[in-house]
Chains A and B, each alone.
Chain A
Amino acid sequence: MTIQASTAAAQFDPESVTTDDSVVRVEGICKRYGAVEALRGIDLQFERGKLTTLLGPSGCGKTTLLKIIAGLIPATSGQIVINDRVVTGPGPERAFVFQDFALMPWATVLRNVGFGLELKGVAEGERNRIARNYIEQVGLQGFEDKFPHELSGGMRQRVGIARAFAVNADVLLLDEPFSAVDEQNRRKFQEDLLRLVEIERKTFIFVTHSIEEAVYVSDRIVLLSPRPGRLARIIEPRIDRSASPDEIRRDAAYLDVVEDIWQSLRHYAE
């Protein structure tokens, strides 16, 4: 059981986080909404096979940054580079998981999961085969022909996650995916997410407002400060994933990181 919270070494320093292996590069991103400055000068790199969490109080622009990376919101200045290509809109190398699931209520689980493939023009048979595979992976076999309103919140988000995996994107963008899920399910989800990070060699960018969740699932935590959103600190929790989930959650070092982040953020809480 080793958790080395390398908080001392991880004070934000742009030079130290630059790597050649990055799949996603965020370069000088600024975002203004009229007179309101939402994001200022964000520079970040995201590596393959790693899960990075964007964490911060409300108003720090973490969801805005995620949607800019997704190409859903245009940045005011700066650029997003994915696989060495500057992108300006959504693309097939990225998949998004939504906070409110964003499932089509008129479509079955199977069609919802296959929707990304349907939009790509994948033939129905092939599309359903892939969708069934991922439905099974997220533990929803037997629910293929159910409609979203027949599922619980947790099951609905499993559909959303299966849909994102089905398109086989390099980068997975998750916008507070577990915040509308009840507590027991959330823990299960976090464990499932870690398993998926391990098997699928993808780049995960995760937004949450839960410090515990961030420390538990992340390889790296990017702390943003609000109004305007800026990089405050970068923390690498370095959790030994071989320990059982319950052991990790009781570990002193894990709790120290949680406490450390809380101390950084507490003065933003009203």
Chain B
Amino acid sequence: MTVFGFRIPMMASLLVWALLWEIVGQLDLIFLIPPMSSIFSAGLGLVQTASWQNATWITVKSFVIGMSLAIAIGVPLGVLMGRFRIIDNICGLWVNMFVSAPLSALVPVLMILFGMGETTIVVTVFLFAVWIIVLDARAGVMQVPQSLIEMARSYGASRGVILRKIILLSALPEILAGIRIGLIRGVKGVVIGQILVAVIGYGELFELYSRSFDMERFWALTIVLFAAAMLLSAIVERAEKRIEYYAGAR
């Protein structure tokens, strides 16, 4: 974007909003919005506390476990659904239902099933992330050109070889896109799960700060989370870009 002939860097709009926030904060209009500068200093203090580090460790751990499960189960399930009509018929309804369902409503049920601990959070992350990974992997597999599969068959490839050398590689752009959206949903899942369970990780901190009206720390924590989600998404996007050179050429 250019303004008056000057090129504006990508994230510059964030600075404008931060400035606006600072002004509103300095005017001391509502206690919900403290000045940006004090949020920042609160954030700097926050990341040095043992409670934040502890919460982050727990959060990252449940996120990584939940995401790994979502990818490890979601990608193969999506591939199977894309390849076999019968599996698609059996699972398709559920996947499509869950991908748009308000999963937050299920968390209390999960708490009953898995207790008030990390297991519930892991399951929540999994449930938030897995469905879109399944759907995208399925879509990728279904649009593998038939002639590529026939080509491999005509040169004597077995089913396993076709799966490894043609189908998975051909569907890779969609699989990665699904994982990227899954990661973003997973971040939502870990936060919503922790807030609803309310006794572990960031959920505990959020609960603590909002109950004691510690808005600086509340916002600092929120910003840390937003930044983490965006960073994760950017990393996967970079990986996607690297393989895009062929994805666009099909």
Q: Which residues of A contact B (CB under 8 A)?
A: 67, 70-72, 90-92, 94-96, 98-100, 102, 104-106, 115-116, 119-120, 147-149, 167
**CB–CB A92/B156 < 8 A:** yes
Residues of A within 8 A of B248 (CB): 149
Please report which residues of chain B, range 147-177, place their CB below 8 angstroms from some CB of chain A when the two chains form the complex: 147-148, 150-157, 161, 166, 169-170, 172
Q: How long is the Cα–Cα vector from A70 to B155 in the complex, in angstroms?
A: 10
Segment 91-123 of B: residues with Cβ below 8 Å from A? none
Q: A102-B150, A104-B169 are in contact. Are A119 and B157 (CB under 8 A)?
A: yes
Output the least CB separation between A1 and chain B (Å): 39
The verdict on B243 contacting chain A, using a C-beta distance below 8 Å, is: yes
Enumerate chain A residues within 8 angstroms of B76, measured Cβ to Cβ: none
Contacts of B152 in A (CB 8 A): 115, 119
Q: Considering only CB atoms, which chain A residue lies closest to B246 in the complex?
A: A105
Out of B161, B169, B245, which one reaches A149, CB within 8 Å?
A: B245
Cβ–Cβ < 8 Å partners of A148 in chain B: 249
| Complex-state Cα separation, A106 to B156, whole angstroms | 20
Q: Which of B148, B245, B247 contacts A104 (CB 8 A)?
A: B148
- Residues of chain B at the chain A interface (Cβ within 8 Å): 145, 147-148, 150-157, 161, 166, 169-170, 172, 243, 245-250
Given contacts A90-B156, A100-B145, A149-B248, contact A106 B243 (CB under 8 A): yes
A-B pair number, CB within 8 angstroms: 64
Q: Which residue of A lies closest to B250 (CB)?
A: A105
Whether B246 and A72, one on each chain, are in contact in the complex, defined by CB atoms closer than 8 angstroms, is no
The distance in angstroms between the C-alpha atoms of A90 and B151, with both chains bound, is 10
What are 14 A-B interface contacts by the 8 Å CB criterion?
A67-B150, A72-B154, A90-B156, A95-B154, A102-B145, A104-B169, A105-B170, A105-B249, A115-B155, A119-B161, A120-B156, A147-B245, A148-B249, A167-B155
Interface centre among A67, A94, A148, A149 (most CB of B within 10 A): A149
Are B155 and A98 interface neighbours, CB within 8 A? no
User: Chain A contacts of B154 at CB under 8 A?
Assistant: 70-72, 90, 94-96
Q: How far is the CA of A167 from the CA of B155 in the complex (A)?
A: 8
A90 touches B155 (CB 8 A): yes
**B151 close to A96 (CB less than 8 A):** yes
User: Could you tell me the distance between the alpha carbons of A257 and B153 in the complex, rounded to whole angstroms?
Assistant: 37
* Closest chain A residue to B245, Cβ basis: A147
Q: Which residues of chain B are within 8 angstroms of A115 by Cβ–Cβ distance? A: 151-152, 155
CA distance A120 to B152 in the complex (A): 11
How many angstroms from the CA of A119 to the CA of B164 in the assembled complex?
A: 12
Closest 3 CB pairs of A and B: A149-B249, A102-B151, A105-B246
Q: Nearest Cβ in chain A — how far from B16, in angstroms?
A: 40
* Bound CA span A102–B162, Å: 14
* In the complex, residue of chain A having the shortest beta-carbon distance to the beta carbon of B172: A106
Q: What is the CB-to-nearest-CB distance from A80 to chain B, in angstroms, rounded to a whole number?
A: 14
| Closest chain A residue, CB of each to CB of B248 | A149
B148's closest neighbor in chain A, by CB?
A: A102
A91: chain B residues within 8 A (beta carbon): 156
B residues in contact with A95, CB < 8 Å: 154-155
Question: How far, in whole Å, are A72 and B248 apart by their CA atoms in the complex?
Answer: 28
